[in-house]
Structure 1
Amino acid sequence: MATLQTIRSKGPLVVIVIGLALFAFIAGDAWKVLQPHQGKQDVGEVNGEKLSTLDYQKMVDELSEVIKLTNGLNSLSEEQLNNVKDQVWQNYVNNQLIAEQAEKLGLTVTDAEIQAIIDQGTHPLLMQTPFRNPQTGMFDKDMLQKFLVDYANLGTSQMPAQYTEYYQKMGAFWMFIEKTLRQSTLAEKYQNLITKSLISNPVAAEDAFKARTEQSDLLLAGIPYSSINDSTVEVSDDEIKKLYNEKKEQFKQLAETRDIHYIDVKVVPSDADRAAVKQEVTEYSNQLDKTNSDYATFIRSTGSSVAYSDVPVNKSVLPSDIAARLDSTGLNEVYGPYYYQSDDSYNAFKVLAKVSAPDSIQFRQIQVYADTEDKTKTLADSIYNALKGGADFEKVAKIYGQTGEATWVNARSWEGAEMDADNTKFINTLINQPKNELANLTVGQTHLILQVMDKKSMQTKYKVAVIKCPVEFSKETYNSAYNKFSQFVAQNTTLEDLQKNAEENGYTLLPRKDLSSAEHYVGGVKSTGDVMRWIFSAKPNEVSPLYECGENDHMMVVALDKVHKTGYRDINSVAATLKNEIIRDKKAEKILANMQGVNSLDKVKAMEGAVSDSVKHVTFSASAYISVAHASEPVIGAAASKTEVGKVSTPIKGNAGVYMIQVYAKDKGTEKFDAKQEESSLASMLSRPVANQIFGDLYQKANVTDQRYLFF
């Protein structure tokens, strides 16, 4: 619909709108604070710098407008909204971290540098703006400069209100691009400073080359740890504590998380609900057979999930079950009612037209608007008559501040979209207007002088009135489920109660560990913001009230089990993991002891629980996958590189067992060693983990606090 509005009201700028396609790394849309908050509230903090809800909202709104403008959308899904919130927060944190380090190092980005990037025109960010040459597809700084000049003179121009609004949106869009360009350039400078400090040397480069190119083919025999029952291995608390202290740094967490148990009740339709929907659609299909006009009103009255469009469309934009039945249905014939299992709906439809229509249309237009409706009509008639008399279209358009240039539009812009009467009139005129003929079209309070220049890709298209009614639960069904669940929640007020009584009452108590406040949903259910706020304010063993959530089709109760504070995880929360590691090590010790004096693969194969395999193309730099052990074993590649052909290795302790290998072939490959290229690749390979480590350290020192969940 946003595209249609552009076609209708933006005139000479329509080519820009249709061509827009912005950043792959951004997705999202606008959002609003869920409820008003009095006083100054902060959503988070980085390096002591607090971010208020107001400033956060401004940043999200800014990015949202960019997304809507560049994708021709009015709104996006809840998931996309959440993506925007997360993108804005992550960008804010990263920019704050970089800005502090850049200030210490004296790193800046000057206006001259930004202008040089614009003049060069190859930055990926510029390539994703609408300021691109239509012929080459490359960024065109002259197009940008012309826009900026027009934008600067916006206050003194006589442009129609619709043009002014669009120029303002495009101006805000460019300011966002310029700001993002400045931030990304500063980040690149800082990252380059880090990566340039990473150097290699010929010795390391040669080792890396050999590790990557020298391959070994080998035979293998081993004893998997799974061959020994865990119950036969004893692990003491002191052993767990010792290993915990050795690995304590691995158990450090930067944000608080919580373990919960929850019951999610999804309300589903009853048999009576299904019968009622079927009966309704049967009645609607009979009425549809007798309806001959105003299909939009009738289809709207049925509550169909597919709105009626008085514009012929490709069958691909219709629901798949409708599309599959079109060609077997005659004109003005009603098909149905029938049930479609995939979307759990009852359906009926009537084919009103089957026509050949273009998929691409080239047109040009002049928008006419004056002080009053009569003046607008008089002026439009005058322009129309002048053009009919042979006046030059583009020259006339320029008199009224428009280009009059022709542009192509594709049927994808409107097919499948809900359209009002004006949009329907406009699109049908484009489809039906003969080439090169003029039309004087009244659209709202304006007039359009329209000329279709060309049409391409004629396709069979359909005008269909569709009744698609999903099977939904009734109010009575919901109330029954609510009353039952409400009574259960009232009678079970502790986690122990829920664990004891959930199953016998027909409910499933689900565990969820390490829930973070940065997450948007509990159990993947939408609209659980209130549940999240309860979870992060509750105390262990508390049970929440009953929450209604989802799309008015879910009910939920939550019990808080444990709280994992920022810092080191307590030993109890990781004891099971540590115990498994100790058990594995003790099994390895036992197997290694049994392998003492074993010097052949055949002797290993003769041992209880043994497995054997052959593995080819093993390198030092890549983990070898041992299929019989269902595990990747990096140590096998290391051992193979040091084992001579025909020799048997000593026992090797791996992730899933203890092995012995016999290398029977080695291949150095045909690739030639290039010291400089290998050094460069090695430094580049190291740059990403080093950069991640540095940013991780900066993040820890910045005392980042994220409490957006309190407000959004």
Structure 2
Amino acid sequence: MAALGKIRSKGVLLICIISLGLFAFIAEEAFRSCESSSNEHRQQVGEVLGEKINVTDFQKMVDEYTEVIKMQQGQENLNEDQLNQVKDMVWNTYVQTKLVENEAKRVGLTVTDSELQNVLNEGTNPMLAQTPFYNQQTGRFDANALKKFLAEYKAQSQTNPQMAKQYESVYKYWTFIEKTLRQQLLAQKFQGLFAHCLLANKVEAKMAFDEQNEESQIQLASLAYTSIDDNKVQISDADLKAKYNQMKPRFKQYVESRDIKYIDVQVKASAADAAALHKEFATYSKDLAAAADPSDVVRKSTSLVNYIGVPVTKEAFPYDIAQHLDSMAVGSTSKVLENKADNTLNLIKLVAKQQMPDSIQFRQIQVVGATADEATKRADSIYTALKAGADFEVLAKKYGQTGEKTWMTTRQYQSAPSLDKNTKDYIMALNTMSVGEIKNMPLSQGNLIVQVADRKAMTTKYTAAVVKKNITFSKDTYSAAYNKFSSFVSANLTAEDLVKNAAKSGYTVLDRKDVTTAEHNLAGIRSTREAMRWLFDAKKGAVSPLYECGDNDHLLIVVLDNINEVGYRSLDDAQVKEIVKSEVMKDKKAEMLIAKLNGVNSIAAAKGKGANITAVNQVTFAAPVFVSATGASEPALSGAVAATAKGKFSKAPVKGNAGVYVFQVTGKTKRPGKFDAAAEMQKLRQKEMQAAGNFMNELYIKANVVDNRYLFF
């Protein structure tokens, strides 16, 4: 009891302690929850219709599409620009697919397996032509070839690990095509349903036909806005505000953006750097001229152009190199050539120049054996049999090969980074053999029996060694540029000082408006992801750190000039104000010119007021008339002319885009042609579909799309 009394005496204190403990527990859980949400947010690439996509899932889609592009184009790797295009394509496809799927779900649209199978059986969809199952002879997709592949894919994955890898690549490619086909079919269904909501009737069609085919001839009197000096027009703040309110819908911004000022310093080679490179090229010139095989010279020079040692066409060389090949003698070495367009020094040695086929049809039998001697004996036997008239394909099948004819073109090998000796010998043999000739070629892995079946498109081919190197800056040059710019930035820490003092230090301040998160780099400079991250996390007026970017040749400092938030751009925005001011200026001048033309009821009277008089023919309601006197298209004028009878003068001056007009209708004619209600209704539906083509943009706006790719890519 004493203990209980003691506890009771401390009741208030205990309640406080327990409350603090509970608060700490709840706060800790809240902190963990916030931290978890924050980490999750940092991993989000974007959001569509409230559905978030994280960077891992997005990267999987990018990797998938990258492999598809590699397979389609036969490339091993994609450069930075190509990868950026892939990322944009993946993102746009993802967003559009989500938008269409959402709308399709609301109206009950789906793509069934049987519908997809019908497309495969029909075999004419353009996407199917990009698959390995497309039959070139029939010009159609072969559904049976797909079924055969899928059956073999399952079998190979269990029995042949080496083949399984190749089958896996094709299988992944096919699953991508199938998925894309489903998305395409669903979009087509939705668009088809949408299209049938737009109708045209015969009355509308007849009106449209008349509007297109009734032509007016007029005498036109024009007074251009440019005839009044801007200084003679008084514009008040009230005028601007009233016009802004009238035009406000034009200034709605759906995506947040940034306006920046920036200084970009591109480091370039100094005179000393260029002199050092010229000295290097003097050595290359001597070595190339003396070398029987120039491959070592080109390799050691780290030339931008590889030497593969076989004849290729001009298109295999950079344009500036190709222009010199025909003027060079075989065996000669050019002087050192400077190309200011790509900032390089160049040397060329023309090793050979020959007339060779661009395309060669051939067939072959690969011969191997337990030993080199065994392979040689077997190859000699096959070669002898073929020379004696044996059937090539029959012999090939005896050794487990098809022996079928195939084509090789110069493009297939001329862009290779390098070729080994066996491949060079192989290509040279095919290029120099005559039609029907058979050759027994010893290779390091056995022998190859080759027969040329056809040769096409004889063309000039060149074997040329090229040393092409960029005129780059040295470390000392870069350090000097960095130190100078860094000192300038350190001495000018505010945005105002940077802008004010840049020119004094030899730097130029540039502007860039409306930078969005959808961009891959800042101000067109490579490797500026960190600057992009800074930009969309900074406050107005902030100055960025000094960034080293580009291809390690740019120094960049950025000022966040303005944040353009989602919503209506205000009249304080310089771009908006300029647009509004221009429209107010036009309105004020129109008022002055209309007042000048008031009471004018003839072309002669208008001319007396200083108007420019021209004859204009073929004026129709359906198309805006182009007025050469003011250099503008004028829809309002077309409407006024259509409403005015032949012989009549315009009821009132017409305010146009570039001036004020009065006119006399001198004639009206009908173009020859018979009204076809069905054809005109179809034309109207097409126009309506074009006008409604922005429906995807409307869906995008309503989907609250968030694009955070700049944080990751």
> Could you state the TM-score of these two structures normalised by the residue count of structure 2?
0.87
**Per-residue displacement from partner, 1:355-407 (whole Å, max 9, x unpaired)?**
232210112345678xxx95799579747745753576545656777544221
Please name the residue that 1:166 is paired with. Answer: 166
CA distance in 1, matches of 2:557, 2:656: 44
Are the equivalent residues in 2 in contact too, given 1:253–1:566 (CA < 8 A)?
Answer: yes
* Aligned residue pair count: 667
Are the equivalent residues in 2 in contact too, given 1:117–1:123 (CA < 8 A)?
Answer: yes
Please name the residue that 1:686 is paired with. Answer: 688
Question: Of 571, 587, 591, which residue of structure 1 is paired with 2:589?
Answer: 587
Change (3 A) 1:185 1:602: same
Are the equivalent residues in 1 in contact too, given 2:315–2:322 (CA < 8 A)?
Answer: yes
* Secondary structure in 2 matching 1:74: coil
Change (3 A) 1:205 1:671: same
CA distance in 2, matches of 1:472, 1:263: 21
- The amino acid across from 1:207 in the alignment is M
Deviation at 1:312, TM superposition (A): 0.7
Please name the residue that 1:258 is paired with. Answer: 258
Deviates more, 1:320-329 or 1:617-626: 320-329
Deviates more, 1:122-131 or 1:85-94: 122-131
CA distance in 2, matches of 1:272, 1:307: 27
- The amino acid across from 1:129 in the alignment is T
CA distance in 1, matches of 2:373, 2:683: 69
Deviation at 1:277, TM superposition (A): 2.1
Please name the residue that 2:152 is paired with. Answer: 150
CA distance in 2, matches of 1:230, 1:39: 52
- The amino acid across from 1:460 in the alignment is T
CA RMSD after TM alignment: 2.7
Looking at CA atoms only, which structure, 1 or 2, has the larger radius of gyration?
Answer: 2
Are the equivalent residues in 1 in contact too, given 2:306–2:418 (CA < 8 A)?
Answer: no
- The amino acid across from 1:350 in the alignment is K
Deviation at 1:40, TM superposition (A): 7.1
Please name the residue that 2:705 is paired with. Answer: 704
Please name the residue that 2:385 is paired with. Answer: 389
Please name the residue that 2:456 is paired with. Answer: 456
Deviates more, 1:640-649 or 1:254-263: 640-649
Change (3 A) 1:367 1:66: farther
Please name the residue that 2:29 is paired with. Answer: none
CA distance in 2, matches of 1:45, 1:290: 63
CA distance in 2, matches of 1:41, 1:566: 23
Are the equivalent residues in 2 in contact too, given 1:281–1:469 (CA < 8 A)?
Answer: no
CA distance in 2, matches of 1:670, 1:261: 59
Are the equivalent residues in 2 in contact too, given 1:442–1:448 (CA < 8 A)?
Answer: yes
Deviation at 1:542, TM superposition (A): 0.8
Please name the residue that 1:13 is paired with. Answer: none
Query: In the alignment, does 2:88 pair up with 1:86?
Result: yes
* Secondary structure in 1 matching 2:335: strand
Deviation at 1:38, TM superposition (A): 9.4
* Secondary structure in 2 matching 1:177: helix
Deviation at 1:336, TM superposition (A): 1.3
CA distance in 2, matches of 1:368, 1:632: 75
Change (3 A) 1:654 1:386: same
Are the equivalent residues in 2 in contact too, given 1:592–1:658 (CA < 8 A)?
Answer: yes
* Secondary structure in 1 matching 2:338: strand
Change (3 A) 1:364 1:510: same
- The amino acid across from 1:596 in the alignment is N
Deviation at 1:619, TM superposition (A): 2.2
**Per-residue displacement from partner, 1:548-595 (whole Å, max 9, x unpaired)?**
222122211110011011222233222332232222212212221221
Deviation at 1:102, TM superposition (A): 1.1
- The amino acid across from 1:515 in the alignment is V
* Secondary structure in 1 matching 2:334: strand
Deviation at 1:71, TM superposition (A): 0.9
Please name the residue that 1:18 is paired with. Answer: none
Question: Of 78, 84, 103, which residue of structure 2 is paired with 1:101?
Answer: 103
Identity %: 45
Are the equivalent residues in 2 in contact too, given 1:45–1:706 (CA < 8 A)?
Answer: yes
Are the equivalent residues in 2 in contact too, given 1:380–1:449 (CA < 8 A)?
Answer: no
Runs of 4+, deviation exceeding 6 Å: 37-40
- The amino acid across from 1:569 in the alignment is R
Structure 2, unpaired ranges of 5+: 1-38
Deviation at 1:237, TM superposition (A): 3.1
Please name the residue that 1:648 is paired with. Answer: 649
Please name the residue that 1:603 is paired with. Answer: 605
Are the equivalent residues in 1 in contact too, given 2:205–2:681 (CA < 8 A)?
Answer: yes
CA distance in 2, matches of 1:55, 1:447: 48
CA distance in 2, matches of 1:216, 1:385: 88
- The amino acid across from 2:361 in the alignment is Q
Change (3 A) 1:214 1:83: farther
**Per-residue displacement from partner, 1:3-53 (whole Å, max 9, x unpaired)?**
xxxxxxxxxxxxxxxxxxxxxxxxxxxxxxxxxx99971100011111111
Structure 1, unpaired ranges of 5+: 1-36
Change (3 A) 1:601 1:469: same
Change (3 A) 1:447 1:641: farther
Change (3 A) 1:109 1:580: same
Deviation at 1:281, TM superposition (A): 1.4
**Per-residue displacement from partner, 1:428-475 (whole Å, max 9, x unpaired)?**
3432455452545647x7876544332222223221112223322222
Please name the residue that 2:480 is paired with. Answer: 480
Are the equivalent residues in 1 in contact too, given 2:284–2:297 (CA < 8 A)?
Answer: no
- The amino acid across from 1:698 in the alignment is L
Query: In the alignment, does 2:675 pair up with 1:673?
Result: yes
Query: In the alignment, does 2:577 pair up with 1:575?
Result: yes
CA distance in 2, matches of 1:367, 1:103: 57
Deviation at 1:340, TM superposition (A): 3.7
CA distance in 2, matches of 1:178, 1:402: 32
Deviation at 1:141, TM superposition (A): 3.3
**Per-residue displacement from partner, 1:159-185 (whole Å, max 9, x unpaired)?**
8x3x54333222211111111110010
CA distance in 2, matches of 1:228, 1:594: 12
Are the equivalent residues in 1 in contact too, given 2:440–2:447 (CA < 8 A)?
Answer: no
> Could you state the TM-score of these two structures normalised by the residue count of structure 1?
0.87
CA distance in 2, matches of 1:38, 1:702: 21
Deviation at 1:666, TM superposition (A): 3.3
Please name the residue that 1:113 is paired with. Answer: 115
CA distance in 1, matches of 2:234, 2:483: 50
CA distance in 1, matches of 2:270, 2:553: 13
Please name the residue that 2:176 is paired with. Answer: 176
Please name the residue that 2:411 is paired with. Answer: 412
Please name the residue that 2:616 is paired with. Answer: 615
Deviation at 1:669, TM superposition (A): 1.6
Deviates more, 1:57-66 or 1:623-632: 623-632
Change (3 A) 1:667 1:475: farther
- In the TM superposition, what are the counterparts of 1:218-617 in structure 2 within 5 Å? 218-293=218-293, 295-365=294-364, 374=370, 382=378, 385-386=381-382, 389=385, 393-394=392-393, 403-421=402-420, 423-433=423-433, 435-440=436-441, 442=443, 450-573=450-573, 574-608=576-610, 610-617=611-618
CA distance in 2, matches of 1:278, 1:511: 38
* Secondary structure in 1 matching 2:456: strand
Please name the residue that 1:631 is paired with. Answer: 632
CA distance in 2, matches of 1:666, 1:447: 85
